[in-house]
Every structure is written in structure tokens, then in C-alpha cells.
Amino acid sequence: MHKHVEKYSWLIFDADNTLFDYNKAEKIALLKTLDDFEIPYQHDSIIGIYHIINHRLWKQLETGEIKSQEEIKYTRTQQLFKILKVDRNITLFAEDYLFNLSQNGQLLDNALSVIETLAQNHQLLLMTNGMTMVQKPRFAASPLSHHFKHIIISEEIKHSKPSKEIFDHAFRLMKQPEKNHVLMIGDSLGSDIQGGSNYGIDTVWYNPNKDNVPHNATYEVHDLMRFIS
């Protein structure tokens, strides 16, 4: 894969579950928030339950069924409370969860060394569909972030992947490079790969679980180290 990467001058990276370990951050933040509100839960199942709720809502944002990240923030809390059969202040819980999430910016294995190496010969842009109040503290505290020329948080520009508008914004920041000089890298077939493909740029599907599903990515990798070795 690293030989293919050499021909691109700009690399656009997704953040969560491509470079940042969002699953770990989500788990730590959710358990702390449940404890903060003294909500009982089954430890062996709560993470899976919440992940399904959250993943479904973000997919609905990608397809336009949900119109804003604000809607996700409160709807996922409502659905979680319904399953747990608890009555707490939805707004306070949602805000506390986001704060706890913003304090967890763990990286995936080898993410930092890969980005440090790539930054020597490429210009890098980070593009995330995450929420501003979560992502800004995580990025600011990360040793990875200063390697990126630009960081785009969808909530700040009011457009999310896979929309054309977020890629238009990226290309303006990059001073309009030729599309064949730009590579989009991410773990989501719906937002990262479809967004890049729709925009006419090459894509890499980061698929660490080796999911066997049809896709239209230009390349597929199972290990971040493939970008540099």
C-alpha cells in the first residue's frame, strides 16, 4: 500500500476508529457517565447496547434521516434510558457524557508513528463528523494533531461526510489540488468511502476487522502500518 500512497500529495484522514480509538473512548465515557448519575447497568452488555443505538443514529445522519448532531445527542440518551428503564435529566446526562468523551483521545496502535512518517512527504488533513465540543479537546491534547495542515469538524461548518459540501470545504483549504493527487482514508464505507468516491477522489477503506462486504473503495487495508511498510 505504501507504494500507492506515494503518488498522492494530500491525504485526508478520518479521525474516529481510523486514527483515534473511539470504541475505547466511548466505553470509558459511558461507564463514567452512568456512574455519575448512579444508573445501574449490566456491565457485560451496556456497551454493546449503546454502540448499536449510537451507530444507527449516526448512519441516519449520513443518509439524511436525522438532520443534526444535536438530535443525535438527545435521541441516543432517550433511547438508552428507555432500555434501562430509568428516569434522569436527559440534557444533563447528554452533556456530561460529551464532556467525559472529550477527555478521552486514545489513539489506535501505530497511529502516531504512521502519521509522523506520512507527514514527512505528504500534506495531511483531518476530517471528522464528530461534535465540536468533543473533538476539539481530544485533538488539542493529541500528539498526532500538529502533523495535520487542516482539521475539519463537520459541526463547525454545518456539513457532514459524505456530503459534497464538506469535500468542497476541504479542497478550498488545500488550495484546489488536482483530485488525482488526493486520497481519502477512513473506516466508514458510508461516510468516508462513499463521500470520497462521490467526489471523484481515490479512497482507502481501513478495515481492521477484515469485514467481507462489497465496497467501492480504491484500496483496502487491514493494518495502519501498511501505509508506511
Name 107's Cβ contacts closer than 8 Å, sequence gap at least 6.
19, 20, 21, 142, 144
Please state the separation of Cα 148 from the chain's center in Å: 15
Q: For the domain covering 2-20+107-227, report its CATH number.
A: 3.40.50.1000
Whole-angstrom distance, CA of residue 128 vs CA of residue 134: 11
Task: For residue 27, give the C-alpha cell.
Answer: 466505553
List, by residue range, all CATH 1.10.150.240 domains of the chain.
23-102
Active site residue 14: yes
Residue 83, pLDDT score: 96
Q: Of 212, 221, 192, whose CA–CA distance to 1 is shortest? A: 221
pLDDT at 126: 98
CATH number for the domain whose boundaries are 23-102:
1.10.150.240
Phi, psi of 123 (to 5 degrees): -95, 135
Cα–Cα nearest to 188, from 127, 145, 107, 138: 127
Residue ranges of the chain assigned to CATH 3.40.50.1000: 2-20+107-227
The three cell numbers locating residue 20: 483515534
DSSP 18: T
Helix (H, G, I), strand (E, B) or coil at 226: helix
Which pLDDT score, from 0 to 100, does residue 1 have? 75
C-alpha cell at position 138: 481530544
**Active-site entry in 14, 16, 187, 202:** 14
Interval 186-207: pLDDT, tens: 999 999 999 999 999 999 999 9
What pLDDT score was predicted for residue 68? 86
CB 201 within 8 A of CB 168: no
3, three cell numbers: 507504494
Residues of the chain with pLDDT under 50: none
Residues in contact with 80: Cβ distance below 8 Å, sequence separation at least 6, in sequence order: 49, 50, 53
Residue 63 has a pLDDT of: 86
